[in-house]
Amino acid sequence: MKANVTVHRDFAISPIDDRVYSSFLEHLGRAIYTGIYEPGHPTADADGFRGDVLDLVRAVKTPYVRYPGGNFVSAYNWEDGIGPRDQRPTRLDLAWRTRDDNRIGVNEFVDWCKKADTKPMLAVNLGSRGLDAARNFVEYCNHPGGSYWSDLRRSHGWKDPHNVKLWCLGNEMDGPWQVGHKTAEEYGRLANETAKAMRLFDKSLELVVCGSSNSDMPTYPDWEATVLEHTYDSIDHISLHMYFANNEHDTLNYLAKAEKLDRYINTIGGVIDFIKAKKRSKKDVKISFDEWNVWYHSREQDKKILEGDEWPDAPHLLEDLYNFEDVLQVGGILNTFIRRADRVKIACIAQLVNVIAPIMTEEGGPAWKQTIYYPFLYASLYGRGTSLRAVVDGPTYDSTSGDDVPYLDVSAVRSPEGDAVTFFVVNRHLTETLDLTAALEGFPKASLVEHIQMTHPDLRAINTAANPDNVVPKTVSGTHVEAGTLMSKLPPLSYNVIRLSV
């Protein structure tokens, strides 16, 4: 089968915000405890943070990490995580039916972010709490000194302010499962007043308001319209969440779900434009897709904890073991964010360590890269710059998730310096090699740097502590550029990163 792609140097979609390669850590399962933090581990530093995990996080260059939730935040008292550790209370987490002794709080998390070469994206509790706790949290984090909350931080050993600029106004408040769930009217008013108060402290803060938990919610997309009606001029981003599953074991339909993601973004983009016009506003609200990933492998085993009465500490929860098929899905999701760089300015893979995560650890043992680590790594490394419009002419298929789904899924990125173009390409076909021909208009001196590829004969193949390199990328030959045309043969069910010097 043949597929033709055309890109042009001057036909750009939008600059890509680096924050689209952000991630997420929640007080859930082993994300924090025995994930990023494990005193006594052979690689742990003086603060108890695992060095092996830090190495893997630094390598992926994730610009922001969202914290502390997630569903957890909607019943979280941020004050529980500050002050002397021996005086911090142990609380029951209603969202995940576990206990947390609060050894890690905002100060320790900010310290970890500095070690990991990333920045914090903090969420405030608008479920069980509200405006007052939020404004105090911001003051504690960001005021230099001379006030109650800032002086309290200084007394805890953090003299300098954290200067956290990116804040989420609650989490998934449209969801009936959420502690303090609200109607769109209730939440919109609360979020607006909270945003106004936070901006009275610092009008340079970037604020994210809750959109829909997924596009199948019965309130979608009315929720976004109502919430933005209240908050449009007070916030900067509206959050969207989506998780992907293949419970039917239908690979083609599974991979087509990226098309549903694109429709989701397109729809909410339209809602944003509608409210902007209605308010006669000059402001552009953007999308923060701050929870996304594959999530379905661990759901059955998680029921024992989520439906039990034991309230364990840092249990094995949401520990999906990702397979090669998930590489193709994650590659397609990232391609969608690159193609919708005009709308999506922040995106957070959920999550980062152990909990539906690209990085796994064993307590006292190794850390390793799950299969999905690689497409996230390569997108973060080479997917920065400007998103180019890639016009595709090739075969398609129909599925439950959408019709006319292209077998060739592609995004193209020109580097910030303008001297490189990278194609991220997924061949979704089950059995056929795709003969790719890409016209590189405006790039007469283009030459191949490398072609990185991921394939595997077993879609269910995973990486484990015992076999961490079962599914890994490799550099392949056979791809070449002649007279401004890229030519390559893409194996069936393959993920490809084709890097060009231009």
d(C-alpha 325, C-alpha 305), whole Å:
27
DSSP 334: H
Q: Would you list the DSSP string of 135-173?
A: HHHHHHHH--SSSHHHHHHHHTT--S-----EEEE-S-T
Report the amino acid identity of residue 249.
Answer: H
At a CB cut-off of 8 Å and minimum separation 6, what does 266 contact? 340
**Nearest alpha-carbon partner for 37 in 109, 93, 95, 107:** 109
Which residues are registered as beta bridge partners of 15? 386
Count, in order, helices (H) and strands (E) of the chain. 10, 26
DSSP string, 227-239: HHHHHTTT-SEEE
Pairing of strands 12-15, 391-393: unpaired
| CB distance 447 to 455 below 8 Å | no
State the catalytic residue, choosing from 26, 38, 206, 291: 291
> Is residue 172 among the annotated active site residues?
yes
- The span from the CA of 463 to the CA of 456, in Å, is 12
User: Is 291 a known active-site residue?
Assistant: yes
Q: Which of 26, 79, 172, 206 is catalytic?
A: 172
Half-sphere exposure of 261 (CA within 13 A, CB side): 31
Catalytic residues: 172, 291
